[in-house]
């Protein structure tokens, strides 16, 4: 359990430093938005199972709600992450999976 927790924390740190949401051309990194751990937790099982693919990652990002305007609106995380960051996320996940 400790190894899994450490692995998720390590993955979350990598995601948090490299993946951002784009709001009016402002880049808010997932670490600063406190979303990196949620993303890592939800994607880690895919890495363990060896079932990593872009469509499944997209579905996970689509399922994570992000509240905007103090909760007045909610958008899926997938809608807020630019395409180049989604590619970066896949690169991070593939590299992490190779090192497991």
Question: What does the pLDDT profile of the chain (100 residues) look like in tens digits?
Answer: 579 999 999 999 999 999 999 999 999 999 999 999 999 999 999 999 998 999 999 999 999 999 999 999 999 999 999 999 999 999 999 999 999 8
Please state, in angstroms and rounded to a whole number, the distance separating the CA atoms of residues 80 and 33: 12
Q: How far apart are CA 67 and CA 4, in angstroms?
A: 28
Sorted by where each begins, the domain ranges of the chain are 2-99
Q: What's the confidence (pLDDT) of residue 1?
A: 59
pLDDT attached to residue 14: 98
- pTM, whole model, 2 decimals? 0.93
pLDDT at 79 (0 to 100): 98
């Amino acid at each position: 359990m400790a190894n899994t927790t450490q692995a998720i924390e390590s993955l979350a740190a990598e995601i948090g430093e490299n993946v951002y949401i784009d709001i009016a051309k402002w880049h808010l990194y997932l670490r600063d938005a406190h979303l990196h751990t949620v993303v890592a937790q939800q994607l880690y099982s895919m890495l363990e199972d060896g079932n990593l693919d872009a469509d499944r990652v997209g579905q996970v990002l689509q399922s994570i709600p992000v509240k905007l305007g103090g909760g007045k609106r909610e958008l899926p995380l997938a809608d807020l992450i630019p395409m180049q960051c989604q590619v970066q996320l896949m690169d991070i996940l593939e590299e992490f999976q190779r090192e497991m």
